[in-house]
Structure 1
Amino acid sequence: MGERIVVVDDEREICDLVRVYLENEGFAVESFYDGDAALARLEDAGAPRPDLAVLDVMLPGADGFELCRKIRERATYPVIMLTAKGEEVDKIRGLTLGADDYVTKPFLPLELVARIKAQLRRYKRYGSEEDALEEGAPHYGRKPGEVITYAGLVMDIPAHACTLNERPLNLTPTEFSILRLLLEAEGAVVSARELYCQIFGDAYYENGSGSITVHIRHLREKMGDSFENPTYIKTVWGCGYKIER
């Protein structure tokens, strides 16, 4: 049996179609048509833990934002939000609450499947050199499995753990990946496009380019880093981001 995916959407046709596509790819899928039923499932300690959740924003009962917030209180598995076309506020809010990616309706089922596979590859294989080579991620000369340290920041790649001045940082898979790429670049500037392509694949960059900006902002908030005078993640206007080493 493949990874377990929870799909929540009150539009039954969309929910059932996504389920068919995912089951054809070998995933185990649990579908829910309202937020309250999904919330009960996600909070059931005796139920199998999902590997990824796909959450529509607008739901009867608990909405997608509430579901995402509840997930992030106890788990770090990937969350993909489904948002209405043009609702930029929904996208930003979802990413701020800890979602890893968003897909705008209407969408191609194969696009959603591709996003899900990309998220699961990263979530399941942090620190694997072979996986990073498959994804085309740069290594910048760093050996796999190392612990990266910088100015009180300690990133243990195999354990997927990160602390700042001995304080644990509760990072989502996407945030962890962004921080790792910036640290491994050792002061080189990494563009938003490069970050997005290394994390999600380059096929849908134009549909989700703004998500990197939101993830960077969320990372800074968790690290207590100043936007105006950052200690860690610095913006190089018109070029990208860097962590000076």
Structure 2
Amino acid sequence: MTDTAHILVVDDHRDIRDLIGRYLRQHGYRVTLAADGKEMRKLLADEIMPDLVVLDLMMPGEDGLSLCRWLRESHDMPVVMLTALGEETDRIIGLEMGADDYLAKPFNPRELLARIKAVLRRAQSLPTGRKRPLAGGEVCFDRWILDRNRHELRNDDDMVMPLSAGEFALLNAFVEHPRMVLTRDQLLDITKGREAAPFDRSIDNQVSRLRKKIEPDPKNPVIIKTVWGGGYMLTVDAVSQ
């Protein structure tokens, strides 16, 4: 599908917008261009439904963060954000608003193409059901609360359980897809943006470490269960605070 996917590029800089459009078309994508949020909203209202949106963060009028939040609430399509700032805080805020990936300007068009391919592959490989990020910064599951703003996990007694970056990414993938079987390849793609190599056991190792932190009995897990021949599944509901 990535060879014929429809990409909507929203950027107020005409040179950048046109450059991205030409490059993506050269690589077989259908491309629609929009100069700002107003034009993007009009295109979507006219039922121009892209497979992915490349969205600039800093635009006059309605900025990219507001537009990304609106897209998350009203549409089901991946978003790759662009920004001239490149600040860590802006990247985190963009991802919290629901962006699937983030790229700082100036960027190599080849890198943007690679990000687009990875995000499309990830979106298409997920099982049916909820695919878009949960609203809000905190997600409750079992007796745990995952604070995605602070990258912090705490229990119902308000005790904080430290998480590594990999453990946080993995747990976030599970709460985004509760009661769904996620294969090792899917989990690796969601958390690291790459496919599993033969004999890659990194996901299994992280699941094991995560179970030691959240399971009542890690040797007999009931929250994250192994699905024989399939992968792993979060067996409880995950609810946004």
Q: TM-score, normalised by structure 2?
A: 0.56
Please give the alpha-carbon distance, in whole angstroms, between the structure 2 residues aligned to 1:175 and 1:37.
Answer: 36
Please give the alpha-carbon distance, in whole angstroms, between the structure 1 residues aligned to 2:33 and 2:11.
Answer: 8
Please give the alpha-carbon distance, in whole angstroms, between the structure 1 residues aligned to 2:56 and 2:95.
Answer: 13
**Amino acid corresponding to residue 11 of structure 2 in structure 1:** D
Which of 185, 194, 198 is the matching residue for 2:194?
198
Superposed displacement of residue 72, structure 1: 0.6
Deviation readout 1:171-209 (Å, 9 max, x if unpaired)? xxx999932699656xxxx9x99931437x99xxxxxxx
Instruction: Percent identity, please.
Output: 41
Matches within 5 A, 1:5-24: 5-24=7-26
Contact 2:118 2:194 in 1 (8 A): no
Please give the alpha-carbon distance, in whole angstroms, between the structure 2 residues aligned to 1:194 and 1:73.
Answer: 21
Contact 1:35 1:60 in 2 (8 A): no
Which of 2, 5, 25 is the matching residue for 2:4?
2
Q: Which residue of 2 aligns with 1:71?
A: 71
Q: Which residue of 2 aligns with 1:160?
A: 129
For the pair 1:117 / 2:117, whether they are aligned, the reply is yes
Deviation readout 1:105-147 (Å, 9 max, x if unpaired)? 1100010011111111222233xxxxxxxxxxxxxxxxxxxxx
Q: Which residue of 1 aligns with 2:157?
A: none
Deviation readout 1:196-241 (Å, 9 max, x if unpaired)? 1437x99xxxxxxxxxxxxxxxxxxxxxxxxxx8579xxxxxxxxx
Gaps of 5+ in 2: 135-140, 143-168, 198-212, 217-222, 226-241
**Amino acid corresponding to residue 122 of structure 1 in structure 2:** R
Instruction: Tell me how large the CA RMSD over aligned residues is.
Output: 3.8
* Change in CA separation of 1:58 and 1:230 when aligned onto 2, cut-off 3 Å: farther
Structure 2 counterpart SS, 1:178:
helix
Superposed displacement of residue 31, structure 1: 0.9
Please give the alpha-carbon distance, in whole angstroms, between the structure 2 residues aligned to 1:176 and 1:40.
Answer: 37
Superposed displacement of residue 100, structure 1: 0.5
Contact 1:85 1:106 in 2 (8 A): no
Runs of 4+ in 1 over 6 A off after TM superposition: 162-165, 174-177
Deviation readout 1:67-120 (Å, 9 max, x if unpaired)? 111111122311010022432222111111111000011100010011111111
* Change in CA separation of 1:92 and 1:121 when aligned onto 2, cut-off 3 Å: same
Matches within 5 A, 1:100-115: 100-115=100-115
Please give the alpha-carbon distance, in whole angstroms, between the structure 1 residues aligned to 2:190 and 2:74.
Answer: 30
Q: Which residue of 2 aligns with 1:82?
A: 82
Please give the alpha-carbon distance, in whole angstroms, between the structure 2 residues aligned to 1:4 and 1:175.
Answer: 29
Structure 1 counterpart SS, 2:86:
coil
